[in-house]
Amino acid sequence: MSASREADSAGHRLASGGPAPRVHGDRRGWTRGVLGLALVLPPLLVLAFLVILPAISAVVTTLTPAADAVPAAPLANYAEVLGTRILRTGIVFTVIVTLVAVAAVFCLSYPLALYLRFVRTRMAALLGVLFMVPLFVPVVIASFAMITFLVGHGLVSTVLYHLGIERFPRLVYNATGIVLTEVWVSIPFAVLILGAGLQAIDDALIDSARDVGAGPLRTFLAIILPLNAAPTMITLTLLFIAIFGSFTIPYLVGGNAPQMLGVTMTSYLTQYLRRTESATLAVIAFMIASVVGVVYVASVSRRERAAP
Amino acid sequence: MHAAWFVAVAGLRRALGIGALLALAAFILGPLATLLVWAFAGTWLFPNLVPEFSLKWWVYVLSNADVGKAIRMSVLSAPTATLLSALICIPAAYAFARLEFPGRRLLLLSFLSANAFPKIGLYVSIATLFYRLNLMDTFAGVVLIQLVNTLLFMIWIPTGTFRGININLEEAARDVGAGPLRTFFQITLPIALPGLIVAALFAFIAAFDEAQGSLIVGTPNHITMPVLMYALVLSYPQPVGAVFSVLLSLPSVILLLATQRYLRAGYLAAGYSL
């Protein structure tokens, strides 16, 4: 027993605080395995009940044809939803707004993350605090704040009016408003993930690239970008899924038509009481996001495997 | 220093100079500043740069019965969800960090699945399930919706924290005869506490600020503060929404200030370097 404990602890020391080493064949390892599974079971059950089961339930609901449908085609609900022009327009609108917003967040966040990683000035420290502010503002408040800021007689128009500019495109209650607010809300999240990845890049690598004569652009393209590939993929996919599945921002800041899927889904569910159509839209959203989600899980699991 | 070289030559310094800092500050702080001014404005007519200040909307909001009900609902549900989450997730996080069992890595990754679904689609699906289980418009339903938003924080941040603790300390306690429970409560837990506090803080904020799922599941009788915000934004004068926004931000701001010494970049990054 004590020998096994010692071997065990030596293993732990080698792993230096990493996950417990595999202990095969002895009774203690087996008990620990059962204990481990027992401890992780409760949150897994919650996850199964609140994520997996609803998702399956939604798919089953949408594949079950309505009682009065003759003949009962299994994909009738999907045919009906995709045959409705306004819903088709909504899906396309959602994808386009999401892609534009993801691109905008990314183009703002990557330079910011690079700057915070490589510059140690007071201005950088200030930026490092400033960019985190939206993280602590609930999305409902962020949307409302954005409205008061951008609306016809809001602060932006007032300032522009005093600068002599009276005609400019509408900034809110349309796609522009949605994109601006999504960007506002998403910046901290993107900078944090990208920054965590950049932090993990060894300074020595960058120094040695410079020593062999690589220019900054080359250093970025050849060293930083590939080494930060996994966090970049994670950022892009999480941004896509989060913005694609958003409701609050398009509901409050968006226009009446076309609407993003999140708004349509919710009004079908709570106002028109058409649960099946709503669930069908949800499953369609799952399918579009799952293509992106696969990339996400693959990137994360590659990183988890690489971790010590 | 390579850093200065990198930025100076890349031209990043120019691109992200003072101008960019000001633009970013205006973009990030502008909306919040406008909101704050509105909260103390009696009337604010275009194109005046400054409103007439007044506290009359505070009286209006605070004497509103719906507001009182929503505050009670939020104050009851968010701590319940956070506590439940801590109870089930912290032991699990310890297991993920320290015990070896089949499927450990895969199960840990499965907690990302909530993030792999578009949120609103997930809530609509949960609603179709809750209709069958009679959980719509119940306190339990709202708590469950908040709970699903806390899981990731409560699993991943504590797992990272427990992993970061030197196992030698635990082994030493065991070697001098402490049982596993005593070791956990007297050695592991105190060292892990800052990380666990950060996790609980994020879980609470996630639960307290949850709006879209609670709107679907809690309407019409279980309205939390963020859900009431939708109605205030859409059908009341602007100062009402602004005053309520300040009220809604208070718990998060107070908690952040109280726990700011724990909020070192390390723990925050741990939650995000998924």
Asked whether the beta carbons of residue B216 and residue A293 sit closer than 8 angstroms, the reply is: no
Phi/psi at B14 (nearest 5 deg)?
-65, -45
Q: In sequence order, which ranges of B219-261 are alpha helices (DSSP H)?
A: 225-235, 238-258
Interface residue A300 vs chain B (CB under 8 A): yes
Query: Which residue among B96, B108, B211 places its CB closest to the CB of A248?
Result: B211
Chain B partners of A33 at a C-beta cutoff of 8 Å?
99-102
Across the strands, what pairs with B127?
Answer: none
pLDDT digits (tens, 9 = 90+) for A66-108: 665 555 667 888 888 888 888 889 999 999 999 999 999 999 9
Rounded to whole angstroms, the Cα distance separating A30 from B31 reads 56
* Mean pLDDT, rounded, for A128-152: 89
pLDDT band at A47 (very low <50, low <70, confident <90, very high): very high
> What ipTM does the predicted assembly reach?
0.83
Lowest pLDDT segment from A120-134, B9-23, B91-105: B9-23
CA dihedral of A148, A154, A157, A162, whole degrees rounded to 10: -140
A:B CB pairs within 8 Å: 343
- What pLDDT, on the 0 to 100 scale, is given for residue B11? 59
Higher pLDDT, A35 or B53: A35
Count Cα atoms within 13 angstroms, Cβ side, for A122. 0
**Chain B nearest C-alpha distance from A141 (Å):** 6
Query: Which residue among B105, B124, B166 places its CB closest to the CB of A265?
Result: B124
Average pLDDT, chain A: 82
**Chain A nearest C-alpha distance from B19 (Å):** 12
Show me where the domains of chain B are located: 2-39, 59-272
Q: What percent of chain A has pLDDT over 90?
A: 31
Query: Which residue among A144, A217, A289 places its CB closest to the CB of B35?
Result: A144
Checking if the pLDDT of B1 tops 80, the result is: no
Checking if the pLDDT of B73 tops 90, the result is: yes
What tokens were used for B226?
């963020």
- Are A12 and B159 spatial neighbours (Cβ–Cβ below 8 Å)? no
CATH number for the domain whose boundaries are A73-306: 1.10.3720.10
What tokens were used for B168?
């030698």
CATH number for the domain whose boundaries are B59-272: 1.10.3720.10
pLDDT digits (tens, 9 = 90+) for B83-108: 999 999 999 999 999 888 888 888 98
Asked whether the beta carbons of residue A33 and residue B102 sit closer than 8 angstroms, the reply is: yes
pLDDT digits (tens, 9 = 90+) for B107-148: 988 887 777 788 898 999 999 899 889 999 999 999 999 999
Rounded to whole angstroms, the Cα distance separating B99 from B162 reads 11
CA dihedral of A196, A200, A202, A206, whole degrees rounded to 10: -40
- The amino acid sitting at A272 is Y
Helix (H) or strand (E) holding A249: helix A248-253
Interface residue A125 vs chain B (CB under 8 A): no
Q: What is the 3-state secondary structure (H, E, C) of chain A?
A: CHHHHHHHHHHHHHHCCCCCCCCCCCHHHHHHHHHHHHHHHHHHHHHHHHHHHHHHHHHHHHHCCCCCCCCCCCCHHHHHHHHCHHHHHHHHHHHHHHHHHHHHHHHHHHHHHHHHHHCCCHHHHHHHHHCCHHHHCCHHHHHHHHHHHHCCCCHHHHHHHHCCCCCCCCCCCCHHHHHHHHHHHHHHHHHHHHHHHHHCCCHHHHHHHHHCCCCHHHHHHHHHHHHCHHHHHHHHHHHHHHHHCCCHHHHHHCCCCCCCHHHHHHHHHHCCCCHHHHHHHHHHHHHHHHHHHHHHHHHHHHHHHHCC
Chain B partners of A46 at a C-beta cutoff of 8 Å?
88, 144, 147-148, 151
- Are A241 and A296 spatial neighbours (Cβ–Cβ below 8 Å)? yes
- What pLDDT, on the 0 to 100 scale, is given for residue A39? 92
- What pLDDT, on the 0 to 100 scale, is given for residue B87? 96
* Mean pLDDT, rounded, for A278-296: 86
- The amino acid sitting at B121 is G
Closest alpha carbon within chain B to A138:
B209
Interface residue B259 vs chain A (CB under 8 A): no
Helix/strand/coil for B153: helix
Show me where the domains of chain A are located: 21-63, 73-306
